[in-house]
Amino acid sequence: MTHDHEQTESDWRDELRSRGFRLTPQRELILTAVQDLGHATPDQVHAHVRTSSSAVNLSTVYRTLEVLEEVGLIRHAHLSDRAPTYHSVHGHEHFHLVCRNCKRVTSVETGVLGSLRATLAAEHGFEIDEGHLTVFGTCQGGCAP
């Protein structure tokens, strides 16, 4: 996965500063790890960061993920009954399909939610938080239980 870290880094700094935070080296490493990994648990982010720096511990990863989500640079979704999975908000807005058999995670553009979004708004006055949406089910063929 390729990222334009130079341009995005400026955006990160601006967004963090506007919310009263600095882009520390640890925050930058953790944010870059989330972007590089695509979808990652805190443990996966920690393992990725540790390849660059042994100075970042797991509690720092958890605290930083919370800050980065509060600022709006990343989001989390629950793709299993375990730890949340984090992903960058840069790029396309998407939700997740998770196969209960093979555990495959598929990112889906939110545009397919059009009629569901409209029905929930009209009939229930409800707005979907699409970035946190995860739909569990099973793949059709080709996956073993």
Please say if the pLDDT value at position 23 is more than 60.
yes
Same domain, 14 and 81: yes
Residue 143 is assigned to a structural domain of this protein: no
What DSSP string runs through the chain?
----HHHHHHHHHHHHHHTT----HHHHHHHHHHHHHSSB-HHHHHHHHHTT-TT--HHHHHHHHHHHHHHTSEEEE--SSSS-EEEESSS--EEEEEETTT--EEEEEGGGGHHHHHHHHHHH-----GGG-EEEE--SSS---
Same domain, 59 and 126: no
> Which residues is 96 bridged to in the sheet?
107, 134
Please give the pLDDT value at position 4: 41
CB atoms within 10 A of CB 13: 15
Please say if the pLDDT value at position 58 is more than 90.
yes
Range of the structural domain that residue 37 is part of: 5-88
Please give the pLDDT value at position 28: 87
Q: How far is CA 42 from CA 24, 137, 144, in A?
A: 18, 24, 28
Please give the pLDDT value at position 44: 93
Please say if the pLDDT value at position 108 is more than 60.
yes
Same domain, 83 and 98: no
Least Cα distance to 93 among 71, 105, 108 occurs for 108
Same domain, 81 and 121: no
Same domain, 76 and 100: no
Residue 144 is assigned to a structural domain of this protein: no
Please say if the pLDDT value at position 126 is more than 80.
yes
The model's pLDDT over 127-137, given as tens digits with 9 standing for 90+, comes to: 988 877 888 89
Domain of 127: which CATH number? Answer: 3.30.1490.190
Please give the pLDDT value at position 59: 94
CA distance 55 to 126: 44
Same domain, 13 and 81: yes
Same domain, 64 and 114: no
Count of the separate structural domains present in the chain: 2
Average predicted confidence (pLDDT) for the chain: 82
* % the chain with pLDDT above 90: 23
Between the ranges 18-27, 43-52, 96-105, where is the mean pLDDT highest? 43-52
10 vs 42, more confident? 42
